Amino acid sequence: MRRYYRRLWAHFGPQHWWPGDTRFEVILGALLTQNTSWRNAEMALGNLRRRRLLSPRKLGCLSAVQLSRLLRPSGYYRQKTRTVRSFLRYLEKRCAGSLNRLFRQPTPSLRTELLSLPGVGPETADSILLYAGQRPVFVIDGYTRRVLDRHGLAPAAAGYAELQHLFQNSLPPDPALYNEYHALLVAVGKTYCHRQQPNCPACPLGVELENRHARG
Ligand code: SF4
């Protein structure tokens, strides 16, 4: 895992994730980028930013209809409106609207609470924990699965928790490292490890794949 990281970092350099000026923006970005590209999520965030609505209290004052209009560019906007509103309700009820209070909770209980919100799955909860909360929680996404699968590092049918343990058991619990590693896996997935035709000869992990094949 460390060698893969070193190769990716040497090739791509720092990725400066997560794009977002505040913890709240990062959380909204994690909720809005589900099942869509970051570009679409960013358009919805831009709608909120232009209207100076990027705070829990201001957003909480909008009706569902008002919010859904602003979130429309992110796709699945009705569902995302419900998700964002349920997060805002939870934040208000549990933490009096304070992100400081939210992130004062221990990681396991906070993760459980985030996962109990409608529309929040493990990848989204862990993105919030890692990128907004600086917790040492590795985020598993489709690109990560693809790379691990193609390199024979994990069974194709491995579940989210199994893949997460694979990283967390091999690496020190360092949020900055997990942040960068996840971003680098996304970079390699987007640039080389395409679903249909992976460009292994040009990929920085091509050597690793060759070595694995050579070892049989
Ligand atoms: S493109 Fe090839 S070498 Fe690169 S990560 Fe995907 S399978 Fe591995």
pLDDT digits (tens, 9 = 90+) for 23-57: 999 999 999 999 888 899 999 999 999 999 999 99
Is the pLDDT assigned to residue 216 strictly greater than 80? no
Q: Which tens digits make up the pLDDT trace of 95-116?
A: 999 999 999 999 999 999 999 9
CA of 3 to the centre of ligand 1 (A): 14
End position of a domain, from candidates 132, 150, 173: 132
User: Residue 36's CB: how many other CB atoms inside 10 A?
Assistant: 17
CA of 70 to the centre of ligand 1 (A): 38
- Same domain flag for 93 and 143: no
- Same domain flag for 32 and 127: yes
- Same domain flag for 174 and 191: yes
Number of structural domains in the chain: 2
The atom of ligand 1 lying closest to the CA of 146 is 6
The atom of ligand 1 lying closest to the CA of 200 is 2
| pLDDT value of residue 50 | 95
- Same domain flag for 96 and 187: no
Straight-line distance from the first to the last Cα atom of the chain, in angstroms, rounded to the nearest whole number: 19
- Greater model confidence, 56 or 21: 56
Is the pLDDT assigned to residue 89 strictly greater than 80? yes
Range of lowest pLDDT (142-151, 173-182, 194-203, 206-215): 206-215
User: Residue 150's CB: how many other CB atoms inside 10 A?
Assistant: 15
User: Residue 7's CB: how many other CB atoms inside 10 A?
Assistant: 18
The two structure tokens encoding residue 134: 């600086």
| pLDDT value of residue 18 | 85
- Same domain flag for 27 and 111: yes
Residues 175/136, Cβ–Cβ less than 8 Å: yes
Q: What is the CATH number of the domain that holds 118?
A: 1.10.340.30
| pLDDT value of residue 155 | 85
- Same domain flag for 128 and 29: yes
Q: What is the mean pLDDT of residues 181-199?
A: 96
- Same domain flag for 191 and 118: no
What does DSSP assign to residue 71? H
| pLDDT value of residue 31 | 96
How many Å apart are CA 126 and CA 136, to the nearest integer?
9
pLDDT band at 214 (very low <50, low <70, confident <90, very high): confident
The atom of ligand 1 lying closest to the CA of 203 is 4
- Same domain flag for 36 and 125: yes
Range of the domain at 159: 2-15+139-215
End position of a domain, from candidates 112, 132, 152: 132
CA of 56 to the centre of ligand 1 (A): 40
Amino acid code (one letter) for 179? N
- Same domain flag for 145 and 128: no
Q: Shortest CA distance to 92 belongs to which of 137, 55, 129?
A: 55
Q: What is the CATH number of the domain that holds 207?
A: 1.10.1670.10
The CA distances from residue 95 to 53, 88, 116, 121, in Å, are 20, 10, 16, 21
- Same domain flag for 113 and 148: no
Residues with CB under 6 A from ligand 1: 147, 150-151, 188, 192-193, 198-200, 203, 205-206, 209
Residue whose pair of structure tokens reads 């690496």 in the numeric block: 171
End position of a domain, from candidates 132, 157, 174: 132
Contacts of 138 (CB under 8 A, 6+ apart): 126, 130, 164, 167, 168, 171, 178, 181, 182
Q: Which tens digits make up the pLDDT trace of 136-150?
A: 999 999 999 999 999
Predicted TM-score (pTM) of the model is 0.94
> Across the chain, what does the average pLDDT equal?
95
Q: Which tens digits make up the pLDDT trace of 55-73?
A: 999 999 999 999 999 999 9
| pLDDT value of residue 20 | 80
- Same domain flag for 6 and 90: no
Please give the full DSSP string across 128-167, using - where no structure is assigned. Answer: IIIIIT--------HHHHHHHHHTTSS-TT--HHHHHHHH
- Same domain flag for 84 and 172: no
Q: Shortest CA distance to 59 belongs to which of 83, 35, 30?
A: 83
Q: What is the mean pLDDT of residues 152-178?
A: 94
Contacts of 87 (CB under 8 A, 6+ apart): 27, 31, 117, 120
Residue whose pair of structure tokens reads 């619990």 in the numeric block: 173
